[in-house]
Amino acid sequence: MSLFYIDNSDKMELENFSDEFGPEMIVEVYDTKTNMKGVLVIHNTALGPGKGGIRMTPTVNVEEVFRLASTMTWKTALAELPFGGAKSGIIANPKEITKEQKFELIKSFARALRYLSPSKYVAAPDVNTAEEEMAVYAKENGSMKSVTGKPTDLGGIPHELGSTGFGVYHSTKVAVEHMGMSLKGIKFAIEGFGNVGVFASKFLTEGGAKLVAVSDSKGAIYNDQGIDFENLKEVKEKTGSVTNYRLGEVLDGKKLFELPVEVLIPAALPDVINKSNVNNVKAKIVVEAANIPMKEDIEDTLHWRKILVVPDFVANAGGVISSYIEFVDGTPQDMFRTVEEKIKRNTKLVLERADKDKVKPRDAALKIAKDRVLEAMKRRK
């Protein structure tokens, strides 16, 4: 029988981040049987149970999970969903363990959080977790409502249908038009060719944009004349890396952020745009498909340089909108319709409010989201 240790001590380390919105709870869990080490941050539940994915990386920590959880609070509020914000992480390297060991860690995590999920926390896929892991979590937890992103046979609308990338496409289209350009023919580069990057690339190229650069963990491929999406996808699936796409120049992955494109889309890891490269960004628009791809001071620098940044919790909300549709037993058709409607409306609202108030888009989006959460908090008292 497993023995779990539950620790809230790290909350003291986040005092500088705490405010009237949260965090409501920080829980660290340890399982002596499986050596599972995990963390859950429930940021705010005024609008509903905290919603957020489970990521599994060797470096995930309380601060990272807290930043992601607070982003989820604003994302769900801006999308007008009956969810709050949360996030969780399991400290492990999936490349160094078997599939069975990975599932055991998920099971252990689900057991440890059973007293909070789904009443206070509804999980979802995130980095290195997908529908299989969500099925394991739901079955071990004992409630299908404890998680979204499940396989279809369990009532899920898997993120593998591309809901986040579909939303990124619509957010990018609105941003491009807001800047007085047309999507047709613009050049874009995308960091990360996982679920989000693949579908964002697919929908953008189908919409007439020109994909010129893509990166993954092995490096980047660059062709200013354009990259064929279907061929690239096939190469990635067969060889494991976009760098094996022969019709282009192989670059260090970090160089992708400095390429001459109209639109740059970070779609994988946190803090990829930072002090080392922020002044070399040449794009006119950065659409944050990934969560927290840069810190706020870096966003400030881009804003000062007249580069439009569409914040993560605006651009990549397609995933959580899909989660809500699954949560209320909707269909994939309901999901695609709702994602398009909400992402287009909210991106337009945020960019127009930013122009009107003469602030950067993140400030405008946060003001809208925080006002909604504050009103919910007042109603709860």
Residues catalogued as catalytic: 87
Alpha helix (H) residue ranges in 212-293: 229-239
Q: At what angle do helices 361-380 and 332-357 cross, to 10 degrees?
A: 110
Type of residue at 173:
K
Nearest to 300 by CA among 311, 289, 314, 315: 311
Geometric angle at alpha carbon 45, from 41 and 46, rounded to 5°: 150
CB burial readout 209-225, b (16+ within 10 A) else e:
bbbbbbbbeebbbbbee
| DSSP reduced 3-state for 68 | helix
Geometric angle at alpha carbon 373, from 370 and 377, rounded to 5°: 135
The enclosing H or E element of 28 equals: strand 25-31
Nearest to 369 by CA among 74, 165, 43, 57: 74
Distant-in-sequence, close-in-space partners of 304: CB < 8 Å, separation ≥ 6: none
Count each helix (H run) and each strand (E run) in the chain, helices first: 11, 14
CA 281 – CA 258 distance, rounded (Å): 5
CA 279 – CA 256 distance, rounded (Å): 13
Q: Are strands 84-91 and 210-216 parallel, antiparallel or unpaired?
A: unpaired
| DSSP reduced 3-state for 266 | strand
DSSP bridge partners of 50? 84, 121
Q: At what angle do helices 229-239 and 195-206 cross, to 10 degrees?
A: 160
Report the chain's terminal Cα–Cα distance, integer Å. 40
Q: Which two structure tokens, joined as six digits, stand for 137? A: 């979590």
Contact 340, 171 (CB under 8 A): no
